[in-house]
Each structure stands twice: as structure tokens, then as C-alpha cells.
């Protein structure tokens, strides 16, 4: 028989009220033992929790009868005063009663095993708990609501129909295959493949929303990169000095921009150097630049641009900094030199933060455009992206083979279908499930 498990469902630490959740076959016995009665399911009931004649706390108690509960098992919630002492005493009693403290993600895992959630929804719970930005919250909620599940089921159903048609056609000798039906099958695969292609593109945005849009600040030493980093974050997290080569490691900080979460990176100034430490910092800076979703180049506009600079690409931002020390003519010359690249150019004086608000509002517009989703919800995790890509490849193969060898085509369609099974968690091996649920927090 399954263990009855318990865990704090609310945040750790001292609080006005803390919620302890228990789930499993003995949940109701525990409530009856402590409260002296079993409240009507789904109704809050206030009373004294006592154990062996000792009053533990006064609490609000709710019970949920399985399968009409989060985990699908009998569940109970104790809303107690959130002190260390109350918690310690209750945990001790639960242990005495033979309950076990839940592992990370164990409540959600039980919900999944009892078919209360599929894997996409379980993942959405973890995301919702972790959500910091408005976009992350919306995305997780849509997914929890079954947005991805419904989409995947629809595609899975389409594949099933396609497979049934192919199997019907397998029985025809080549020359007798009804062409209209064969054409329809091919047309259906092409349509599905294009929808999938769109989902794969969107899943990149989904990941940027979930993990944070990565913005790298790059440029030569002393251009003012760390000054910009600090100005955007309104902190002094990065060291700013007149010494070229001050920043060595990549400094990363989360930043909220409108409804979105982003990660911003300050990096070492790019130059030729014999210094071992600095050159490692520069290597890391370049890597960040390549991986970034957006690059912001900072230039000291009072200095002439060296010939090997900048390595800007279309779509990058260019900050002409130190306008207090440069002339408009020089800045215009730089702009002319770079005019064939489509860059967004800004002028700043970072000692007074002049021009920073323009950069900030451009970033907000940029994220709103880059991350607006056409088909909501988007797949947000690498796991989804990889599976969708595999499914797409199976369809590609099926189209390549066509009705030359319908048996092989059917096999590819079956493979695509099993990709969706894995996405809802129907066929995934234990290991994958362990991996996914262990990343949850305890009490979820
Ligand atoms: N006059 C003037 N000085 C600035 C401006 N922005 C930054 N500085 C100064 O330029 C120097 C270098 O600034 P940092 O922000 O450390 O430059 P960095 O690009 O991070 O430099 P490294 O980390 O060494 O590559 C500091 O002394 C800043 O105070 C500006 O707009 N005008
Ligand atoms: K510096
Ligand atoms: Mg710096």
C-alpha cells in the first residue's frame, strides 16, 4: 500500500498561517485522530488539534475524498499557525503515526500516476510555482489548463486517422491504390507538418519566456558596459573603474522588463591580451554573445573605432556612450560607417544615465514583439522542443518514402505518435519521470 505523505504546502519559515498537506490511504484517520471528527469533504472546519491529551494548535482543516482531490487520493489540509514549534510538533506526530515526509514533486507525481494530470500539466504546476513574470504566469496557467495537452492530443488524433488510411491502403496492390485517398493522406501529413513547424518556432519563444530572454552587453574595455549594466538594473552590482579590463567574469542578473523576465550579462571588454585571466574572461564574453537572444554593444564615442571593431550583426543594439566627451560629428561618422547594418542606435552619458530610459523602453518593445505568441500556449521546455523536432523528422521521412513503401510510411507515423505519448508522459521511462518531478519543490 502507498505511504501516506505530508509536507508543508506553503513557504518555509515563520508565517501567520502555514498549510500542511497530507495525502494517502491514512489521511482521514490522521484527521479524525487529531481533530476528533472528520469534516465534510471540501468544507473548511475549525477546531482543536489534540494528540494524547495535549492541545497542539487551533486550526482550519479541510479534507478531500479521493479521487476528487489534487493527488486523486484521500487528502487533507491543516491550516495552522505558522511557527517552527507547531510545525515540529505536527511533523513529529505524523512520523509517530507512520506517515512519511513527501519527496520533491511527490504530490504532483501521485496526481500524474492517478491520471489527474498529464505530464504537460504537471510541468505547468512547477512553472506556475516558479513564475516571476506576468508572461510566465499566463503561460504556465494556460498549460495547466490543458492547452498543450489538447494541442498534442489533436495532433495525435490526426496521426491516428492518417495511420488508419495508410493501413487501409497497404492492402491494395500498387497500381490499384485509390489516388484520391493517397493524395489526401499526403496532404494531411503536409498540413500537420506545417503546424508542427510553427509550434517548433514558437517553442523557442516559449523557452525564452520561461527561462528568461538573454541580453548580453559587449564591447571594448572601458566603453561603459558595466555602467550600462548597473544603470539598467538600478544597482551597483558590477564594479566600474577607469581601469580598462575591470570586468573579468561574466556577471549575470535577472531583470524584469514589462511583463517579461530577462537575464542580463555584463562581460569583459574585448581586446587582444596576454593576460591569462583576462583572455579567459574574453572567451566567456564571446560565448555569451553568441548564445544571447539580443546583443547590446557599447562604444566609447569619444574614441576612434579600431579597425577590427565592431563585430556587430544586424538586429544588435549599439550604444554610443560618453556623449558628454564626444562631438555629434564623430558620432555621425560612426553611424555612417555602420549604416548598412540594421542596428538600433542609442546615445548615452552613463555617468548621468542620460539616454538610459530610451534603451529601457526599446527593450520593452523589443521583448513584446519578440515574445508575443501566435499560437498559445507554446511548448516551453527543451524536452518538448526535442520531441517535436523528432516527430517532425518522422513526418519528413514518411513524406520522403510516400506510398512507394506504405509499410515503412506507417512505421514512421507510429513513431511520430509515440513521440506525443512521451510528451504526455504515457510511455516515458521512470528515469525521465524522476528527472522531471525531482525538479519540483517539496509540497508540490
Ligand atoms: N565621461 C563619461 N564617463 C563614463 C561614461 N560611462 C562610463 N564612464 C566611465 O568610464 C569608465 C569605464 O566604465 P565601465 O563601466 O567600467 O566600463 P566597462 O566597459 O565595463 O570596462 P571594462 O569592464 O574594463 O571592460 C569609468 O570610469 C566610468 O565612470 C560616460 O557616459 N561619460
Ligand atoms: K573599466
Ligand atoms: Mg566592466
Give the distance from CA 122 to its chain's centroid.
Answer: 13
Which atom of ligand 1 is the closest one to the Cα of 349?
A: 31
Give the percent of the chain with pLDDT over 90: 66
| 380-438 per-position pLDDT tens digit | 888 889 899 999 999 999 999 988 888 999 999 999 999 998 888 776 556 666 766 77
Assign 440 to helix, strand or coil: coil
Q: How far is the CA of 298 from the centre of ligand 2 (A)?
A: 12
Confidence of residue 201 (pLDDT cuts 50, 70, 90): confident
For residue 345, is it left (φ>0), alpha (ψ between -120 and 50) or beta? beta
CA of 227 to the centre of ligand 3 (A): 7
Q: Which helix (H) or strand (E) holds 100?
A: strand 100-101
Does the CB atom of residue 301 touch ligand 1 within 6 A? no
Check if 320 has its Cβ closer than 6 Å to any atom of ligand 1.
Answer: no
Measured from the CB, is residue 79 less than 6 Å from ligand 1? no
Annotated binding site for K(+): 222, 241, 243, 246
**Nine-digit cell string for 65:** 475524498
Q: Output the nine-digit C-alpha cell for 357.
A: 530610459
pLDDT beyond 70 at 307: no
Decide if 419 contacts 394 (C-beta within 8 A).
yes
Query: CB of 377 closer than 6 A to ligand 1?
Result: no
Ligand in closest contact with the CA of 356: 1
Binding-site annotation: residue ranges for GTP: 222-227, 241-247, 266-269
pLDDT higher for 442 or 280?
280
For residue 233, pLDDT beyond 90:
yes
For the record, the C-alpha cell of 237 comes out as 552590482
Q: Each residue of 314-342: pLDDT tens digit?
A: 999 999 999 999 999 989 988 888 888 88
Beta strand pairing call for 5-8 and 15-23: antiparallel
The helix-helix angle for 179-211 and 382-401 (nearest 10°) equals 160
Which residue, 189, 119, 104, is CA-closest to 153? 119
> How far apart, in whole angstroms, are the C-alpha atoms of residue 410 and residue 159?
10
| First vs last C-alpha separation in the chain | 21
CA distance 115 to 104: 19
User: Is the CB of 356 within 6 Å of ligand 1?
Assistant: no
Q: Is the CB of 69 under 6 A from ligand 1?
A: no
Distance 297 CA to ligand 1 centre (A): 13
Give the burial class of 276: count Cβ atoms within 10 A of its Cβ; 0-12 exposed, 13-18 middle, 19 or more buried. Answer: exposed
Query: For residue 347, which ligand has an atom nearest its CA?
Result: 1
CA-nearest residue, atom 23 of ligand 1: 247
Task: Please say if the pLDDT value at position 104 is more than 90.
Answer: no
Q: Is 438 in the pocket of ligand 1 (CB under 6 A)?
A: no
Substitution candidate for ligand 1 out of 245, 284, 351 with most atoms within 8 A of CB = 351
> Is the confidence at residue 354, as pLDDT, over 80?
yes
Say if CB 21 and CB 90 are below 8 A apart: no
| Any atom of ligand 1 within 6 Å of the Cβ of 349 | yes
Which cell numbers hold the place of 162? 492518417
Task: Determine the pLDDT at residue 376.
Answer: 56
Q: What integer is the mean pLDDT of 97-123?
A: 92
The pLDDT assigned to 308 comes to 62
Helix or strand or coil: residue 45?
strand
- Among 12-26, 117-131, 132-146, 349-363, name the most confident range: 349-363
| Measured CA distances, 210 to 139, 140, 304, 364, 438 (Å) | 8, 9, 40, 17, 18
**What mean pLDDT comes out for the span 160-184?**
84
If you take atom 14 of ligand 1, which residue's CA is the nearest one? 224
pLDDT of 31 reads 97
Q: Decide: residue 418, CB within 10 A, 0-12 exposed, 13-18 middle, 19+ buried.
A: middle
Nearest-angstrom CA–CA distance, 78 and 133: 30
pLDDT of residue 377: 66
| pLDDT (average), residues 100-125 | 91
Nearest ligand 1 atom, CA 219: 19
Assigned C-alpha cell, 322: 560618453
Cell numbers at 73, concatenated: 487520493
Q: Which SS3 state, helix, strand or coil, does residue 196 take?
A: helix
Measured between alpha carbons, how far is 389 from 402 in angstroms, rounded to an integer?
20
Q: Is the pLDDT of residue 443 over 80?
A: no
Residue with cell 596576454: 274
pLDDT value at residue 2: 87
Is the beta carbon of 325 within 6 A of some atom in ligand 1? yes
Please say whether the beta carbons of 311 and 231 come within 8 A: no
pLDDT at 152 over 70: yes
Are 444 and 107 within 8 A, CB to CB? yes
Instruction: Read off the pLDDT of residues 10-54 as tens digits, 9 standing for 90 and up.
Output: 888 888 999 999 999 999 999 999 999 999 999 999 999 999 999
Cβ of 324 closer than 6 Å to ligand 1, yes or no, is yes
Helix (H) / strand (E) element for 19: namely strand 15-23
DSSP string, 344-386: EEEE-BTTTTBTHHHHHHHHHHHHHHHH--SSSSPP-SHHHHH
What are the respective helix, strand and coil percentages of the chain, to the nearest 5? 50, 20, 35
Report the candidate in 380, 425, 383, 427 with the shortest Cα–Cα distance to residue 109: 425
Output the nine-digit C-alpha cell for 101: 515526509
Residue pair 409/151 in contact (Cβ under 8 Å)? The answer is no
Alpha helices in 114-252 (DSSP H): 119-130, 134-144, 147-170, 179-211, 225-233
User: Would you say how long the chain is, in residues?
Assistant: 444
C-alpha cell read off for 404:
512507394
- All three cell numbers of 431: 528515469
What is the predicted pLDDT for the residue at 310?
65
What confidence score (pLDDT) does residue 204 get? 86
Number of C-alpha atoms within 13 angstroms, CB side, residue 414?
9
Amino acid at each position: 500500500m502507498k505511504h501516506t505523505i505530508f509536507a508543508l504546502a506553503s513557504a518555509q519559515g515563520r508565517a501567520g498561517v502555514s498549510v500542511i498537506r497530507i495525502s494517502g490511504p491514512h489521511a482521514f484517520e490522521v484527521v479524525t485522530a487529531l481533530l476528533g471528527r472528520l469534516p465534510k469533504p471540501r468544507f473548511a472546519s475549525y477546531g482543536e488539534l489534540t494528540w494524547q491529551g495535549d492541545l497542539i494548535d487551533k486550526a482550519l482543516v479541510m479534507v478531500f475524498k479521493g479521487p476528487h482531490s489534487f493527488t486523486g487520493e484521500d487528502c487533507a489540509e491543516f491550516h495552522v499557525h505558522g511557527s517552527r514549534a507547531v510545525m515540529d510538533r505536527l511533523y513529529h506526530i505524523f512520523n509517530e503515526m507512520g506517515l512519511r515526509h513527501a519527496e520533491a514533486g511527490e504530490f504532483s507525481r501521485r496526481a500524474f500516476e492517478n491520471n489527474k494530470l498529464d505530464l504537460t500539466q504537471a510541468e505547468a504546476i512547477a512553472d506556475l510555482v516558479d513564475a516571476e513574470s506576468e508572461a510566465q504566469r499566463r503561460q504556465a496557467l494556460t498549460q495547466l489548463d490543458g492547452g498543450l495537452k489538447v494541442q498534442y492530443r489533436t495532433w495525435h488524433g490526426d496521426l491516428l486517422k492518417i495511420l488508419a488510411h495508410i493501413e487501409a491502403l497497404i492492402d491494395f496492390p500498387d497500381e490499384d491504390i485509390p489516388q484520391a485517398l493517397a493524395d489526401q493522406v499526403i496532404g494531411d501529413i503536409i498540413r500537420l507538418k506545417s503546424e508542427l513547424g510553427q509550434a517548433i518556432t514558437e517553442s523557442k519563444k516559449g523557452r525564452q519566456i520561461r527561462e528568461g530572454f538573454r541580453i548580453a552587453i559587449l564591447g571594448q574595455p572601458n566603453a561603459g558596459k558595466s555602467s550600462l549594466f548597473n544603470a539598467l538594473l538600478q544597482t551597483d552590482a558590477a564594479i566600474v573603474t577607469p581601469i580598462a579590463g575591470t570586468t573579468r567574469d561574466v556577471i549575470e542578473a535577472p531583470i524584469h522588463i514589462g511583463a517579461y523576465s530577462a537575464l542580463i550579462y555584463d562581460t569583459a571588454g574585448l581586446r587582444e591580451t596576454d593576460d591569462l585571466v583576462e583572455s579567459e574572461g574574453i572567451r566567456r564574453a564571446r560565448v555569451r554573445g553568441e548564445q544571447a537572444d539580443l546583443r547590446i554593444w557599447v562604444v566609447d564615442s569619444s574614441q576612434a573605432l579600431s579597425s577590427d571593431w565592431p563585430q556587430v550583426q544586424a538586429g544588435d543594439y549599439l550604444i554610443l556612450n560618453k556623449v558628454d566627451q564626444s562631438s555629434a560629428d564623430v558620432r555621425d561618422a560612426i553611424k555612417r560607417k555602420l549604416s548598412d547594418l540594421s542596428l538600433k542606435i542609442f546615445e548615452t552619458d552613463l555617468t548621468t544615465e542620460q539616454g538610459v530610459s530610451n534603451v529601457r523602453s526599446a527593450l520593452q518593445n523589443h521583448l513584446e514583439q519578440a515574445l508575443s505568441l501566435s499560437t498559445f500556449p507554446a511548448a516551453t521546455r527543451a524536452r518538448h522542443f526535442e520531441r517535436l523536432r523528432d516527430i517532425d523528422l518522422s513526418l519528413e521521412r514518411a513524406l520522403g518514402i510516400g506510398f512507394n513503401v506504405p509499410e515503412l510510411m506507417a512505421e514512421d507515423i507510429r513513431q511520430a505518435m509515440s513521440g506525443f505519448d512521451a510528451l504526455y508522459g504515457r510511455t516515458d521511462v521512470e528515469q525521465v519521470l524522476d528527472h522531471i518531478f525531482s525538479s519540483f519543490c517539496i509540497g508540490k
